[in-house]
């Protein structure tokens, strides 16, 4: 039986996942998730019930966005498959999990203070993808007198359902728009 791909209603999940906060507020850093207005093609079909996988994928995405802004960025890598690949801007070769950990070493000294937009989320069988945009600053953790660094990026996360039913991110493809 072929499963029908479905776009997941993002606003619905945010209100569930963030029950103790407003729909747009995510963390102590005043970072925000702002869903863009969904078009008909980006909204879950009302005649199809939300599947268990839809909920698991949305939870993973919201967990990733929370962790990115936390003081525990290292936990972010737990959300990826062991064979995860990052396709980074202007890079000739792909980056594996170990190289990504080295790249993100700067999070020891900076935290992400960014507004996030989940532009699209689709689940289809054992695969899912998410388009997400970040716009904000990298702020120094230790010396608040240092100037923040502007940080804008757009990502496509490709997710895979694992043998145990858990979802993980297997690819992060991103760019830095000018």
Q: How far apart are CA 148 and CA 136, in angstroms?
A: 9
Domains in the chain, ordered, with CATH?
6-175 (3.10.450.50)
Tens-digit pLDDT profile for residues 137-154: 999 998 878 899 999 999
- Look up residue 147 and give its DSSP letter: P
SS3 83: strand
What are the residue ranges of helices labelled H in 18-170?
Answer: 52-68, 97-103
Count Cβ atoms within 10 A of the Cβ of residue 69 and give its class: 0-12 exposed, 13-18 middle, 19 or more buried. buried
pLDDT > 70? residue 89: yes
Tens-digit pLDDT profile for residues 96-122: 999 999 999 999 999 999 999 999 999
Residues 60-78: what's their mean pLDDT?
A: 94
Nearest to residue 33, comparing CAs of 130, 123, 103? 130
More confident residue, 14 or 7: 7
Residues 1-9: what's their mean pLDDT?
A: 51
Tens-digit pLDDT profile for residues 27-50: 333 344 444 443 333 444 445 566
pLDDT > 90? residue 61: yes
């Amino acid at each position: 039986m072929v499963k029908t791909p479905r776009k997941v209603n993002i606003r619905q999940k945010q209100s569930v996942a963030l029950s103790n906060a407003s729909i747009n507020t995510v963390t102590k850093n005043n970072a925000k998730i702002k869903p863009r207005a969904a078009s008909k093609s980006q909204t879950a079909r009302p005649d199809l019930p939300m599947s268990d996988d839809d909920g698991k994928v949305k939870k993973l995405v919201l967990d990733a966005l929370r962790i990115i802004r936390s003081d525990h960025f290292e936990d972010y890598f737990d959300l990826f498959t062991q064979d995860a690949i990052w396709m980074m801007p202007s890079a000739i070769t792909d980056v594996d999990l170990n190289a990504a950990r080295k790249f993100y070493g700067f999070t020891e000294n900076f935290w992400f203070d960014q507004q996030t937009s989940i532009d699209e989320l689709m689940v289809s069988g054992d695969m899912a993808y998410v388009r997400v945009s970040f716009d904000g600053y990298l702020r120094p953790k230790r010396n608040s007198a240092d100037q923040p660094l502007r940080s804008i990026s757009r990502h496509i996360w490709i997710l895979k359902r694992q043998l145990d039913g858990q979802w993980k991110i297997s690819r992060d493809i991103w760019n830095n728009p000018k």
